[in-house]
A and B are shown apart, each in its own frame.
Chain A
């Protein structure tokens, strides 16, 4: 019955008398709900593992659970589930050693004779080129703010030839990547005439014997922008393409590479210029090379220099000082060398003094002598004993001699 001229206030409504049907749906507004009064039970049920988020249309909705071991990542705009390696940020494992080019035990500049095809340069990196003395290789401090202190510079010395750098990863350090996906990243720039406009990168599977890799993996360099033909047992796991490297440092990424060649035992990273029209002093600069397991790249993992050096010394060790040997007779002397790091294998060795091979320096008198070692003992990855007992030896018992060793256990 209509009520006229009267105000219906709260007192005119009995407790519990307003039924749901008496409230118009659209009149239940946010203002009618006090803060902190929406209980979880009043929300719709999310699927198990789901969360609420704002989607690309700025609508609050359900983000269903990710896959096993995936983590929630943001691209700065939206969030999404990605493989764990993509969300670790500085916790990833970089299978590349000396990726930031800081360690240079063999020297910092490799020119005519030292830069030949298939020669080691900065630690763990060797140059491959279509001939010898194609590029001078130097450790340069021409890097960008926030990058490594150093980069490797490949500076054209013989024009119109392809060239690049390679690192072979030891089986024990890439085993977890074989049969899985990896991602490669590095920082690079070019300089010079502008002709050096086609830099590529390849992840190469080695399916020959484990840790017995043929370092010169090139069978034929090929024409410009034609990927080199690799030797038997070496296979590109990605399809290398022009990365369009510019004259400013930038990060280049090749992600989600499947290491699926049968019987892969080692992985190599190969970065090269695929140009056959270059001018002298055209250069490529490369640093912060990282190969990681997973479908996406992450921030470069920078190691302390001391750790980086130790990692390198598993493969090459060149003490900055001399080793001292003691003559035990007029015809023999012995050097007993302990390595600072267990080397990958018993290393090959060279000795020199003052730049002359096989030369020794007699500490008591300053005299020098060129000899040939003739005996190995205790040859292992941890110690070497070298015994000289040769006919033309002119030493005396108890004399101290020194010389400089270098040890090589590269792959």
Chain B
């Protein structure tokens, strides 16, 4: 599962996958490409509410 990481201004700074893998929002990053493909399938990430 993907979760959005956000700063104090509520802007997304990265993606957390399976509570373990930190993924930067860099389109050259294969994990981020997988995330984008996952979004295109109609999935939605969780918000980080911590």
Tell me which residues from 1 to 46 in chain B have a Cβ below 8 Å from any Cβ of chain A: 5-8, 13-14, 16, 19-26, 28-33
Q: For the complex, count residues of B whose C-beta is within 8 A of A.
A: 23
B residues near A391, Cβ cutoff 8 Å: 50
Whether a CB of chain B sits under 8 angstroms from the CB of A69 is: no
- On whether A345 and B29 interact (CB within 8 A), knowing A372-B50, A386-B22, the answer reads yes
Q: Which residues of B lie under 8 Å from residue A390 when comparing CB positions?
A: 50
Q: In the complex, what residues of A have CB within 8 A of residue B32's CB?
A: 348
B13 touches A372 (CB 8 A): no
When C-beta atoms are compared, the residue in chain B nearest to A168 turns out to be B30
A341 within 8 A of B: no
Chain A positions 353-398 with a Cβ under 8 Å from a chain B Cβ: 357-358, 372-377, 379-380, 384, 386-387, 389-392
Residues of chain A at interface, number, CB under 8 A: 32
Contact flags A208-226 to B (C-beta < 8 A → 1, else 0): 0001100100000000000
Residues on B with C-beta less than 8 A from A80 are none
Q: Are A346 and B22 in contact (CB under 8 A)?
A: no
> In the complex the two chains form, is A379's CB within 8 Å of B25's CB?
yes
| Whole-angstrom distance between the Cβ of A92 and the nearest chain B Cβ | 28
For the complex formed, measure the closest distance between the CB of A122 and the CB atoms of chain B, giving whole angstroms: 19
Find out whether the CB atom of A350 lies under 8 angstroms from the CB atom of B20. yes
| Contacting pair B26 A350 (CB below 8 A) | no
Which B residues are CB-close (under 8 A) to A408?
A: 31
Q: Which residues of B contact A191 (CB under 8 A)?
A: none
Q: Which residues of A contact B28 (CB under 8 A)?
A: 211, 344-346, 409
Given known contacts A212-B33, A375-B5, A346 and B26 CB-to-CB distance under 8 angstroms: yes
Report the Cα distance A345→B31, complex, angstroms: 11
Given contacts A358-B20, A375-B7, A384-B24, contact A346 B50 (CB under 8 A): no
Contact A379 B30 (CB under 8 A): no
The reply on A349 being an interface residue by CB < 8 A is yes
A345 / chain B contacts, CB cutoff of 8 Å: 26, 28-29
CA distance A374 to B4 in the complex (A): 9
Partner of A348, one of B8, B22, B50: B22
Query: A374-B6, A375-B13 given as contacts; is B33 within 8 A of A346 (CB)?
Result: no
Contacts of A410 in B (CB 8 A): 30
Whether a CB of chain B sits under 8 angstroms from the CB of A325 is no
Give chain A residues whose Cβ lies under 8 Å from the Cβ of B13: 375-377, 379
Chain B residues closer than 8 Å to A372, beta-carbon distance:
16, 19, 50
What's the Cα separation between A211 and B8 when bound, in Å?
33
Could you write out 12 A-B pairs with CB less than 8 Å apart? A344-B28, A345-B29, A347-B24, A348-B21, A373-B5, A374-B5, A374-B16, A376-B14, A379-B14, A387-B7, A409-B28, A410-B30
* Other contacts beyond A374-B6, A409-B28: 11, CB < 8 A: A211-B28, A348-B32, A350-B22, A351-B22, A357-B20, A374-B16, A375-B7, A377-B13, A379-B26, A391-B50, A410-B30
Interface residues of B (CB under 8 A from A): 5-8, 13-14, 16, 19-26, 28-33, 48, 50
